[in-house]
Amino acid sequence: MRLLTAVEANEGPAAAALWNEFSGRLTKHLEAEERHLFPKIYRSNPRSARALVEEHRHIRSRMGEVRTEIEKGAVRLEAARGFIAELCAHARHEEDVMYRWADENLAAGETETLFEALAPRG
């Protein structure tokens, strides 16, 4: 990941620019899941939905922490790697719970709308 490379090389301005791009896309992705999937998951599995909401809340909090470290030029490679590891664990949880549910329960049109909302944009 280019962001980790910039952090490791202590390239502050490059890391900040890459972080802004990354965090913007991640925020849009989280918002799309919350808008398109969370309400539907909540109706069928409120416990899992609440867990996913808490994970998103935690991710946003961690994003703020990392952003602050990057802005100060004090982000440590271990901290950035730790955040990425947290995101990977969250993605695995979503795959196991939310996306499996979506595969089993969403109609074709709903699936297309979801993928369009989650697709990264420029």
Backbone angle region of 118, left / alpha / beta, with phi > 0 → left and psi within -120 to 50 → alpha: alpha
The count of domains in the chain is: 1
Helices 46-72 and 77-94 pack at an angle, to 10 degrees, of 160
pLDDT for residue 38 is more than 80: yes
Q: Whole-prediction pTM value?
A: 0.87
Task: Please give the residue range of the domain that contains residue 106.
Answer: 2-118
Express each pLDDT in 68-122 by its tens digit.
Answer: 999 898 889 899 999 999 999 999 999 999 888 888 888 888 878 777 887 766 5
The tokens describing 36, both together, are: 């398109």
